[in-house]
Structure 1
Amino acid sequence: MAKCRVDSMDDLLQTLENAADVDSISEEMLTEGAQVLQKNIREEITSAADRGYATGELASSVIPDTPEKNAFGHYVSVRPVGIDSKGVRNGEKWGYLENGNGGNQKPHPFEDKATKRSEIECTEKMQEVFNRHINI
């Protein structure tokens, strides 16, 4: 939750004016928060895939999309893109690493770990951006 301290009516009006551009502020907040999540997902993938044969291509393919807005609000996704050097889709490798393949490859969950590890740091980063925009 955003926090704001106001000492006078002029300060209140200036703060409200600065906070009026919600779309711009939200986009920047999501961009900076997504970078934290990207870093933690990459680290968790590297740890989960460390079986002696991983090339690091999956971890390096994880990038945040451009923040978007829909009927539910602003959002950003951090996901793997592209294919590896053997032509395998990185999204497919993500799924197999997270869930296993029902055969000989066991699940090595990393999504929850990365998300939980990122929550506080993302929130702090997004709060910093908000504070910067409303000049707290």
Structure 2
Amino acid sequence: MKRHIAMAALLSGCLSVSATAREPLRRESSSGLPGDSSLVVRLSNIVVDSLRTDEYKALLKEEIEASMRLEPGVRTLYAVSDKKRPHEVTILEIYADEAAYRNHLATPHFQKYKRETLDMVRSLRLLDVDALVPELKIK
């Protein structure tokens, strides 16, 4: 229960946009100097074809489970859907650093997910955000 509350708080509280999805990710340390290793945090807002929601969610579950199991740089991938509009999905993505994020994009399981869901996704909005409590431990 504590994990769900922490995730909900993080999802609702970390919408400080820091970069567009196509720009290189740049993070600064608390000292303000670039180059320190820091988390990459992203929200993916996805609208799926409402007739294919279950199929999409099964592929997403497979991809998340593989990422969490196989990629040490993936801190968490936590997906939720709107209760009233289950075809609207938000994913909280947390990576150890930019290299872990870039590695994730190149993995076979992520490439499979992208390929097999491409025609299901009606819109995709990626937001790079700042964690407001970056020291929060995610199990």
Output the TM-score relative to the length of structure 2. 0.33
Larger strand fraction of residues: 2
Larger radius of gyration: 1
Structure having the higher helix fraction is 1
TM-score by length of structure 1 reads 0.34
Q: Which has the higher contact order (CA 8 A, sep 6+)?
A: 2
